[in-house]
Amino acid sequence: MNIRQMQILEHVRGSGRASVEELAAALGVTPQTIRRDLAELAGQGALDRVHGGAILRSGASNIAYEERRRMNDEAKTAIGRACAAQIPDNSSVILNIGTTTEAVARALLRHRDLTVITNNMNVANILAANDSCEVVVAGGLLRRSDGGLVGDLTSEFMANFKTDYAIVGCSALDEDGDILDFDMAEVRVSRAILQQARERWLVTDAAKLGRKAPIRVVSLGELDAVFIDQPLPAALARLCDEGGTRVVVA
């Protein structure tokens, strides 16, 4: 399964189905390319083909998420450690949905006196092992595919907090410096999270560079820091410099 096919599964997971045309537009490829990818994914049992597109096969979303968790695992681990190293004990943190934010959670297991607010059930389960960490889990609609909690209730819940740090992941980071995602419900929560923190950080592996997704979350220049495993391209590095966004290469 290649990166584009993982993006297709992530897109389909958001609504349960997607058309060839919307996938082609979101990923910037031809409909013929999408049809070939859908045929391969159907052959692998990851989704079912329907007229004009595809739907997610029951149980396939969890497989897709496990695949995504394993992608670039070493890079995500390094990013998680670099990010956690800059979070002092006795801090408050919001972590959102994503495999890289889960890597941050694992790197926080030895921190003391943390308060972590999250809409990621996986993050909550990881940090449950840290008896010096108070974990606050958002309400909302449970997305079984990845353990994420999303929806208006989740966004409203996040508005009750003001934390030291908000740490978010993304599905794509384009050449304009825009952080992008596939699921509008998840994007609303991410925006709410970013509004509730004194420091706003992005954690992402370099594989997200140049990817495409249809929904804009925020610009790199609006963040305080980005943690990544490779140096940013010159144009994005310049954007960060102009916006005062620190770039930490793990």
Cα-Cα end-to-end distance for the chain: 26
CATH architecture label of 3-68: Orthogonal Bundle (1.10)
Q: Write down the pLDDT at residue 60.
A: 46
- Residues 153-167, mean pLDDT to the nearest whole number: 96
pLDDT, averaged across the chain:
90
Q: Write down the pLDDT at residue 59.
A: 47
Q: Write down the pLDDT at residue 244.
A: 95
Answer yes or no: is pLDDT of 84 > 80: yes
Query: Tens digits of per-residue pLDDT, 55-72?
Result: 876 544 444 566 666 667
The residues spanned by each domain of the chain are: 3-68, 72-249
- Residue length, the chain? 250
Higher pLDDT, 66 or 182: 182
Q: Cα(179)–Cα(175) distance, rounded to whole angstroms?
A: 10
Q: Cα(122)–Cα(62) distance, rounded to whole angstroms?
A: 13
Burial of 175: CB neighbours in 10 Å, binned 0-12, 13-18, 19+: exposed
Q: Write down the pLDDT at residue 81.
A: 98
Answer whether CATH 3.20.20.140 is correct for domain 72-249.
no
Longest alpha-carbon distance in the chain: 54
Answer yes or no: is pLDDT of 52 > 70: yes
What are the backbone angles phi and psi of residue 104, rounded to the nearest 5°?
-60, -45
* Consecutive H or E run containing 5: helix 3-15
Composition of the chain by helix, strand, coil, percent to 5 = 45, 25, 30
Q: Write down the pLDDT at residue 63.
A: 47
Which are the contacts of 190, defined by CB distance < 8 A and separation ≥ 6? 96, 168, 181, 217, 218
User: Can you list the positions of beta strands (E) in the chain?
Assistant: 17-19, 47-50, 53-56, 92-95, 114-118, 133-137, 141-143, 148-150, 163-168, 172-173, 178-181, 197-203, 215-219, 225-228, 246-249
Answer yes or no: is pLDDT of 94 > 50: yes
The pTM score is 0.78
Q: Considering Cα of 218, then 221, then 225, then 228, what sign does the dihedral take? A: positive
The rounded Cα 165 to chain-centroid distance in angstroms is 16
| Both structure tokens of 216 | 């804009």
Answer yes or no: is pLDDT of 45 > 90: no
